[in-house]
Structure 1
Amino acid sequence: MHFFRSLLVVLLTAGTLFAQSSVEEFKLGGTARILDEDCIRLTPDVQFASGSAWYEKPIDLSQSFELTVCLVFGKRDELGADGIGFVFHPVMRTGYRGEGMGFAGLYPSLGIEFDTYQNYHLADPPNDHVAISVNGQPHHYASVDGPNELPNLEDGQKHLLWIYWNPIEKQLQVHLDGKQVANLNEDIVEDVFRGNPTVFWGVTAATGRKMNYHDICIKKLVFAQAEVPD
C-alpha cells in the first residue's frame, strides 16, 4: 500500500527502468516547501506569494513523456488567485509569476496554465480556465489552445491531472479529472524549441491581492532522461 502512495518516477534510459520515491529531486524556489513524501506546497494562503518547483532531471522530448499529478488550488473562490502553471524550458529558469503563471518572458518555452483569476487585459474568460501558450506570451491572443473554461477549481480538493506527449503523433494531451481539457497537435521540438529535444519542466504558482494555497502532489512520471552537456 505504501508503494502506491509514494512518488513514482520511471526513467526510460537505455532500456533500463529506475524508480525513486522522494520529492527532494525538485529544485524549489520562492515560497515552495515540501509537505510530505508526495506533495509540495507552492504558495501558502497569503498575499503576494510565489513559489516554483523544477524537476532536476532533463527530459528528452524526442521520446514520450507522461506526467500524472494532483493539484490543489485552495478553498477561496471569489477571493482566490492566481493558479498553477506548468513550464517547459531548456534551462531551469522561472518567468514572470502572478498573471504570467511562471512562463511569461521565457523564450523558447511552452506553458500550460490553470488560471483561477480573471485578468481582463489578458482576455481571460470569467471562469477558471486552462490554456497552452508558447514562447512566454501570457495574453490569450497567443494561446495555441484555449482558454478553455473549467468547473470551479478552488474547492480544496485534489484534481487529477494527466499530461501526455506523443512524439510520433506530435500530440500533447492535457486531461483534468478524467476529461480532456486541452490538446495541441504540433511538432513542439521543432516549432517551439528550435530542434532541441532536451528541456526541463517545472511548476509554479502565485498569489496577489487575492490569495490561495497551491499544492502539487506527484503521482507518476514516465520519461526518457536526456543528457545535458557540461
Structure 2
Amino acid sequence: MTARALPLFLAVCLVSLAPALGAQSSVQEFRLGGSAKILNEECIRLTPETPYVSGSAWFQNPMDLNYPFELTVDLVLGNNNELGADGIVFVFHPTMQTGYRGEGMGFAGLYPSLGIEFDTYQNFHLGDPANDHVAIMPHGQAHHARSMVGPVEIPNLENGARHPLTISWHPGKQKLEVKLDDELVATYTGDIVSTIFGGNSKVYWGATAATGRKINFQDVCIRKLVYALVD
C-alpha cells in the first residue's frame, strides 16, 4: 500500500473533573504484538500477507469510559477478495494482548472485552453472513449468537483502499456509535462499564487482526484520537 503522508494528530478531550490528562503524538506510542509492524508515521501493519498470523496494536495509555471519546482511524483490509481473510477488530480490554489467529481475528479469547469487528471472510459455523460485515461482540466471542449488534452486511472492504472509521462513546447516553466510510453502521446503547467490564471503567484500546489459510495485509492508520487519559 502506498500511504498518503498526513500529519498524525492525537488530542485529549478536556472534560470537567477529568482524570489526569496526557497526549501521545506518534505510532511509536503503540505497543505492538504478534506480527504487527510500523509502516510509517501514521500506519501500522497488523498482518502481512502471510498465513496463520495475528497482530495487535495497543495505545499504551488507558482511557476512562466514564468520559466521552471519539477515535478516528483508517482501516485497510488488503486487496485479496475471494482469497482474503480474516479481518480487523477494534478492541477495548483491561490489558494489552493478542488473541487467537484465523477466524478469531486476534480478538478471540480476550476476556473481559468489547470488540467491534470488521470481518472479511465468511465462516459458516460462526453465523457469518455472505458479505463483509460489522458486529459488536463481547468477551472475545467470535460466534454471532453472542453478538450485541449485528452482523451488519457492508460493501466489500478488501479493495486496497482506506476506509475511514469513527468510533464514539457518549457515557451520558450510554451510547456507542460506529461510522464506516461516513455511514453509521452500528449503534449500541447500554452500560458497558457494568455489563462488560464489571464496573471497571479503565480500559486500553487497540486494533487486532489475523489471517488463516487465506490472507491479506491489514493496516490501521491513525487520524484523530480525542479522549481523557488516566494513569
- What range is the shorter-chain TM-score in? over 0.9
Could you state the TM-score of these two structures normalised by the residue count of structure 1? 0.93
Shift of 1:19: 4.8
Equivalent position of 1:171 in the other structure: 175
Task: Give 2:13's aligned residue.
Answer: 12
- Alpha-carbon shift at residue 17 of structure 1 (Å): 7.2
| Aligned mate of 2:37, from 33, 36, 39 | 33
Taking the TM superposition and a 5 Å limit, the aligned residue runs for 1:76-95 are 76-95=80-99
Aligned match of 2:212 in 205, 208, 215? 208
Gaps of 5+ in 1: none
RMSD: 1.6
One-letter amino acid matched to 2:6: R
Counterpart position of 1:52: 56
Say which of 89, 93, 103 aligns to 2:107: 103
Q: In structure 2, what is the equivalent of residue 151 of structure 1?
A: 155
The one-letter amino acid of 1:115's match is D
Q: 133-142 vs 154-163, which deviates more?
A: 133-142
Query: Are 2:63 and 1:62 equivalent residues in the alignment?
Result: no
Read off the aligned partner of 1:185 and give its amino acid letter: T
What is the CA distance between 1:105 and its match in structure 2?
A: 1.8
Task: Tell me, in whole angstroms, the C-alpha distance in 2 between the residues paired with 1:17 and 1:57.
Answer: 10
After superposing the two structures, state which structure 1 stretch, 113-122 or 98-107, moved more: 98-107
Identity of aligned residues (%): 60
The amino acid across from 1:154 in the alignment is E
More off after superposition, 180-189 vs 98-107: 98-107
Task: For residue 112 of structure 1, report the CA deviation from its aligned partner.
Answer: 0.6
Is the contact between residue 13 and residue 69 of structure 2 (CA under 8 Å) also seen in structure 1?
no
Alpha-carbon offset, residue 86 of structure 1: 1.1
Which residue identity does 1:163 align to in structure 2?
I
2:45 is paired with a residue whose SS is strand
| CA–CA distance in structure 2, aligned partners of residues 29 and 18 of structure 1 | 23
2:11 aligned partner, one-letter code: V
- The Cα of 1:150 is off from its aligned counterpart by 0.6
Q: Which amino acid aligns with 1:114?
A: F
Between stretches 95-104 and 200-209, larger displacement belongs to: 95-104
Aligned to 1:142: 146
Tell me if structure 2 keeps the 8 A contact 1:21–1:37. Answer: no
Q: In structure 2, what residue type is equivalent to 1:193?
A: F
Q: Distance in 1 between matches of 2:53 and 2:142?
A: 19
Match of 2:118 among 114, 121, 129: 114
Distance 1:18 1:57 in 2: 9
Take 1:133 and 1:193, find their aligned partners in 2: how far apart are those partners?
13
Question: Could you tell me how far 1:139 is from its partner in structure 2?
Answer: 0.4
2-structure distance, mates of 1:193, 1:203:
18
Number of residue-to-residue matches in the alignment: 224
Q: CA deviation at 1:21?
A: 2.8
In structure 2, distance between residues paired with 1:95 and 1:210: 18
Match of residue 188 from structure 1: 192
